[in-house]
Structure 1
């Protein structure tokens, strides 16, 4: 029996590579679409079929996946806000834009997912396909958060949930009971750097799953690069929601964090006082 071909709509970073690797380890073929200026095109070397497109070429994307016999699709990796010159919307994409009531990241991605499903594809969560990428619950470093870290984690959790509910971001940075930076379109690393410039070392990063979030779309994620940026600004602790987030290069990230006395913990709603 022929193996299933999984489709990947690939943004930037290592996430698409990890999904491709995980799918191939499960014996699946991988067909991926990458976007000019956003995707690392060496992804093609890790897939069985690959197509480079411009953002907005929706009809060509659908056609490629049909040609490859794809039934299930994973959205993997961030796509930074593109410049106008990077976008090449075809007629189908233009029609899709008119369906949008808001322009938040989730709204756009949900609309794209719905359009793909109207064509008979199934858009699935990366965690369903590669569960090993999920963040475990509890302390991930040998040392648990300090009491001062816990104070900032508890303070930041409900506020991170609130900004998530407004589709602003998934992360915020707290120091001494004060929110010092909120993640926006620039991403977590730049939000951390902004916090470091404002208040110096000792910050706590809180990263959560947005209330009502579609788990197929833009899951919260951390990894080795997150820890590197935390070291850069002298951050103290990372708390990330367990089970509903992705953690890349976990072993390497934990080892690096321990060398710099950064505490990492997978948080649950139960211990943080609810959703």
Structure 2
């Protein structure tokens, strides 16, 4: 697949936007970034050719900047809390128009309308994995320690539960122990859901993270990183399962080393 000369990047919170920008630049592609906060902009600065900082509610300014820079291919990555949807006084006319088209604030409904809005302006939204394929493990046990028999059973329960809640647009992560689902990710995010489940488990929790069934992987691609492992280690969790080929494992070898050091088994299934 041929690569574009320039890519637009709409960047939310977390370490993924800077990692993606660095990888895109390593391919000789210019990056025009829209940071959704000042701290995000500071992290992106070393890796981009053009940098703008706008709020989530400034849809007109975001699209005008991308079009002015000649962007055609666009990647969206990083966390954006859905809590911003309840601060509507910050929204411009374009964002209001998008929100009026959605039937609910579930992820799929929102993301579909966001893509439509960009595409109506001639911007093609593409999958982040196109530029960072090495961060999506294909399958198998990724760490020195393999899951125990009990952990494998909990992983199976977790995959089934996570896919079920995914169909409802609730979240991507569940925490399981001895076949019981202890926590389901809601609006609070992955790390908080893991911490909550681990408090109930005390030790030995299994964490499972998947994409939603039929999810458009151009937006909200599931991701785990060293911070995920740190939360699990603090909560004495022992296994992490992700969906092969559909989850970004941020950090590569550093992630695997951190898992091995913590005695956490990581599986892509």
CA RMSD, 1 decimal: 1.6
- Post-superposition shift, 1:38? 7.3
CA contact (8 A) 2:41 2:53 kept: no
Instruction: Say which of 210, 217, 220 aligns to 1:218.
Output: 220
Give, in whole Å, the separation in 1 of the partners of 2:24 and 2:192: 31
1:19 maps to which residue?
20
Give, in whole Å, the separation in 2 of the partners of 1:215 and 1:118: 19
2:74 maps to which residue?
73
**Could you list the per-position Cα deviations for residues 19-48 of structure 1 after superposition, in whole angstroms to 9, with x for gaps in the alignment?**
101111111000011113773533123210
Aligned residues: 265
- Post-superposition shift, 1:192? 1.0
Moved more, 118-127 or 249-258: 249-258
Give, in whole Å, the separation in 2 of the partners of 1:29 and 1:146: 46
1:153-172 aligned at under 5 Å gives the runs 153-172=155-174
2:207 maps to which residue?
205
CA contact (8 A) 1:106 1:217 kept: no
- Post-superposition shift, 1:260? 2.1
Unaligned 5+ segments in structure 1 are: 268-275
Give, in whole Å, the separation in 2 of the partners of 1:251 and 1:11: 24
Moved more, 255-264 or 69-78: 255-264
CA contact (8 A) 1:110 1:217 kept: no
1:173-188 aligned at under 5 Å gives the runs 173-188=175-190
TM-score by length of 2: 0.94
- Post-superposition shift, 1:86? 8.3
Where 2:91 maps in the other structure, the secondary structure is coil
CA contact (8 A) 1:5 1:68 kept: no
1:101 maps to which residue?
103
Instruction: Say which of 147, 150, 164 aligns to 2:149.
Output: 147
Give, in whole Å, the separation in 2 of the partners of 1:87 and 1:175: 43
Give, in whole Å, the separation in 1 of the partners of 2:142 and 2:208: 15
CA contact (8 A) 1:8 1:33 kept: yes
Give, in whole Å, the separation in 2 of the partners of 1:247 and 1:131: 10
